Amino acid sequence: MLSDRLFLRYQRQVCLSDVSEQGQVSLVNSHVLVIGCGGLGCAATLYLAAAGVGHLVVVDDDLVEESNLQRQVAYRQTDLQHNKAKALMQQLKQLNDSINVRAVERRLADEQLGLEIMLADVVLDCSDNLLTRQQVNRICSQQKTPLISAAAIGWQGQFTVFDYLPESPCYRCLIPFDEITQEGKCSDMGIIGPVVGVLGNYQALAAIQKLATGKFFVEPNQLHLFNGQTMQWQAIKIMRDPECKLCNVSQATTEVAS
């Protein structure tokens, strides 16, 4: 049961029949891991904290720079040259003092990341590089932890939920590379701030769906493409790649275990 204070704070969510007090209690007891505290991570965590997700872990080894403030809206001028994860943690605690937030101020190796994912109910990939995305996808796939992934550049964005159910695809089925030689960066190609906000909000919304109701309302394993110029979405089903080494290994492990 919620305390009177928390019931009052979250009453706009509690009054939704598919959330109710039980769903809000689930949010309060939930644990979410967020990899990356840039534009996506800022937008997503602000709404997760406001919604009452009880345990948030935010991971980033980068420092806040002046050029970040155009889109990474959780930060303030006073956060410049401070670690992003620590600065974001402080902002989230000021937004909601009833939740627990932990900052990890370094990149995580596989063993450490595996432990963090093991504790999480869902993982949000808000990173800005393909190597990290593949690492997060690999460990989420191994542990069958739902992954909510997004990316944005210029006026464009993309969003996907991976559920890792039997026969479901993974991120490597979509992008079978660990690195792209000319991968676009905000510093090279530019980025419209609200585009990142839209995608981060979608990540938060999907996480709240899963944590509060026990299921995703958005269909998993679809690539949702956003065009910030026309404000239109396009959805493309992601097919499992029969040559995907990660999916094949995960399937073989599941069969042996059963």
Known active-site residue 15: no
Q: From CA 39, how far away is CA 84, in angstroms rounded?
A: 11
Q: From CA 40, how far away is CA 34, in angstroms rounded?
A: 10
Whether 224 and 159 have beta carbons less than 8 Å apart is answered as yes
Radius of gyration for the chain, computed over Cα atoms and rounded to the nearest angstrom = 18
What is the edge-to-edge ordering of all strands in the sheet holding 222-227?
Answer: 100-104, 55-59, 31-35, 122-125, 147-153, 156-162, 222-227, 232-237
Please identify which of the residues 126, 140, 186, 247 carries the catalytic annotation.
Answer: 186
Reduce the secondary structure of 85-151 to three states and give it as a string: HHHHHHHHHHHCCCCEEEEECCCCCHHHHHHHHHHCCEEEECCCCHHHHHHHHHHHHHHCCCEEEEE
Active site residues: 186
